């Protein structure tokens, strides 16, 4: 079984996230999503999500492409996750291009997927705050 892993906050779930998850699953047979915890978001990513970790986890687990959701609590956990879960492919949007190439040292394929244009959680929040 070819295992794929991806990481993110996935707040205010939108079609850009779904496009990413669909393509991530297509890279293998089993997709693990490492979901940024509320604390990791607040302390390390300097962002607060609208939905809590538990709410975001529930939404992700309802998506047909997602097989398992684990917490992302630190930037440094990726190597350990790849070993622990026997991951074959690491994938993430190409806004991170080049940032995780070191994971190839773990014998893991690294795939950067093109982001879906013109949609983001930040854009949704901005539009809503302007009453659009």
Return the active site residues.
Answer: 45, 47
Nearest to residue 3, comparing CAs of 112, 99, 107, 73? 107
Which of 4, 5, 20, 108: binder of ligand C2G (CB under 6 A)? 20
- CB atoms inside a 10 Å sphere around CB 104: 11
CB of 130 to ligand C2G, least distance (A): 19
Q: Is 115 in the site for ligand C2G (CB under 6 A)?
A: yes
13 and 37 Cβ atoms separated by less than 8 Å:
no
* Dihedral sign of CA atoms 42, 45, 48, 49 in order: negative
Which whole-number Å values give the CA distances from 31 to 28, 60, 73, 119, 120, in the listed order? 7, 11, 18, 23, 22
Question: Which residues in the 24-43 window bind ligand C2G by CB under 6 A?
Answer: 36
Which of 13, 65, 120, 124: binder of ligand C2G (CB under 6 A)? 120
Stretch in the footprint of ligand C2G (CB under 6 A) among 5-13, 62-70, 79-87, 102-110 = 5-13
Q: Is 53 in the site for ligand C2G (CB under 6 A)?
A: no
Residues forming contacts to ligand C2G in the complex (CB under 6 A) are 7-10, 16-17, 20, 36, 72, 92-93, 95, 115-116, 119-120
């Amino acid at each position: 079984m070819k295992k794929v892993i991806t990481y993110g906050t996935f707040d205010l779930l939108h079609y850009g996230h779904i496009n990413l998850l669909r393509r991530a699953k297509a890279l293998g047979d089993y997709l693990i999503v490492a979901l940024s915890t509320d604390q990791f978001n607040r302390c390390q990513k300097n962002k607060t999500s609208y939905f809590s970790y538990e709410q975001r986890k529930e939404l992700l687990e309802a998506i047909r492409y997602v097989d398992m959701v684990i917490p992302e609590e630190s930037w440094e956990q990726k190597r350990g996750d790849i070993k622990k879960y026997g991951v074959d492919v690491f994938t993430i949007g190409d806004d991170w291009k080049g940032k995780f190439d070191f994971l190839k040292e773990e014998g893991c394929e690294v795939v950067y997927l093109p982001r879906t244009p013109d949609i983001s959680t930040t854009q949704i929040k901005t539009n809503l705050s302007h009453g659009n």
